[in-house]
Structure 1
Amino acid sequence: MLTAAQVLATNNFGDTRTGGLAGPMGLFLLLLLSAATILLIRNMNSRLRRLPDRFPDHGTAAGTGRVDASVVDPTDGMAGQESRPNEATGHQQGRNR
């Protein structure tokens, strides 16, 4: 008669093959991924060290986060004017040729 310890001690998990490479291959992949991670972190740190401490405030008004007034007007100064019905708009010009 089998006891509970003998039933639990039997190996029924499919890893009974001799000469398997799962352990060494897993260790190799773990070491390879660890080395790649270390090299990537070192590269990222060296690139971050090369950045300046502060970036210039181009495009802001006195560093307040507001955009300066040199933004291009998409209406080209024709904001209040209506277009003529026969005049082709920008996206229609290619179709009318």
Structure 2
Amino acid sequence: MLTTAQVLAENNFGDTRTGGLAGPMGLFLIIALATVTVLLIRNMNARLRRLPDRFPPQSGPVEQTRVETTVVDPTDGTAAQESPTITPNRSQQRRNG
């Protein structure tokens, strides 16, 4: 039967041959991460080179314009009502269209 001293004296600190895969797996992960980082940096540099040197100046804030339209009441047809509508600006048209 094992005594307490024998259990404590047993070497279970990972320097035996049974757990020898941690070192090569760590090396593989470090090399994979380094490769991915190099490829990412090259891709970003290529994208930055394709950008123009200067961008065209942006216009000031675009205000929405009010357009007055006439709406005819279909129930009685005698009176026309005016209702203001707001037309979308260019950025809203690009976003919606």
Rg comparison, structure with higher value = 2
Structure number with higher strand proportion: 2
Structure number with higher helix proportion: 2
Alignment TM-score, normalising by the size of structure 1: 0.50
Structure number with higher relative contact order (C-alpha < 8 Å, ≥ 6 residues apart): 2
